[in-house]
Amino acid sequence: MSKEIIDFLDYLRIERKMSDNTVESYKYTLNKLEKESKKNLILCNKNDLKTILITNKKSEKVKSINHEITILRQFFSYHNKESVVKDIDLLKLEKNLPKYLTKDEVERLLNIPLVTPLDYRNKAMLELIYATGLRVSELVNLKVNDIDFEMCNLRVLGKGNKERIVPIGSVALKYNKIYIDEYRVKLLKNNLIDELYPNNFGRKMTRNGFNFILKELKKKCDINAYLTPHVLRHSFATHLLIGGADLRSIQLLLGHENINTTNIYTHIVNRELKDNYIAFHNRSRKGK
């Protein structure tokens, strides 16, 4: 890894106070691009970078390439070489609507058999993430004291270390209280950690660990729909909007900085309304 990349990562970490996960993402991307360029990244010219990115198009998604372009812009700007990337434009994204589970699929996922301490931990996690719409990184970083059972809310540290308070429903509170009071200590295996949900070895749960749990539960619950932690977040937001919640409230619950990010869920609801109209209205189809 070149000195220029190291200096830039230090700047992100120290000056811009980016999270460790974000800095690692930048590090991975810059290292990857430097290897593909076969020379120090800072020595690349505009044609070098375009060649790398065009080559990547064959195997990477447009969103991933745009992520690389965004990081390159910041990297070269930091080193006062903005002109190198000035004419490299972001690719146009296809507007794919977020995937989400139906309410029936959510019910099947949440109604897991409760036998072992791990079952109770998984139940508590699933109920909480669906009740609050947390990002998976926010979920695994929760501390025991972040849940206020008296006020029925949750303190969440989101992107950019911004804190928000999210209300929790009675069902999620109930299963998290049972889990904390009766089962959490059994999972710690004599380890001392503050995180609310330890992994199977009594250490801090990781995002990959939760992804694996979700993948296994998807099989057990016989859910055929695409399922990731972010799909649960989309399900939370979509079900709220369908139920009549206003967009501004959903924005605050999700921790979105920009209302336009939240606005994507209105397109899901509009599509669902149109589909229902076509399916059920007796004069909606051709030939009537």
Q: What is the pLDDT along the chain (288 residues), one digit of tens a residue?
A: 899 999 999 999 999 999 988 999 999 999 999 999 899 999 998 888 888 887 766 666 777 888 888 899 999 999 998 888 877 876 665 567 788 899 999 999 999 999 999 999 999 999 999 999 999 999 999 999 999 999 999 999 988 888 999 999 999 999 999 999 999 999 999 899 999 999 999 999 999 999 999 999 999 999 999 999 999 999 999 999 888 888 899 999 999 988 888 888 887 767 665 565 556 555 445 554
- The whole-number pLDDT of residue 46 equals 86
The C-alpha atoms of residue 72 and residue 84 are separated, in whole angstroms, by: 9
- The whole-number pLDDT of residue 224 equals 92
Instruction: Yes or no: say if 124 and 179 are a contact pair by the CB < 8 Å rule.
Output: yes
- The whole-number pLDDT of residue 276 equals 57
> CA–CA distance from 177 to each of 76, 174, 227, 262 (Å)?
50, 5, 26, 31
- The whole-number pLDDT of residue 61 equals 77
Please list the active-site residues: 135, 159, 230, 233, 256, 265
The C-alpha atoms of residue 115 and residue 202 are separated, in whole angstroms, by: 18
The C-alpha atoms of residue 281 and residue 170 are separated, in whole angstroms, by: 37
- The whole-number pLDDT of residue 50 equals 85
- The whole-number pLDDT of residue 284 equals 47
97-126 pLDDT, tens per residue?
788 899 999 999 999 999 999 999 999 999
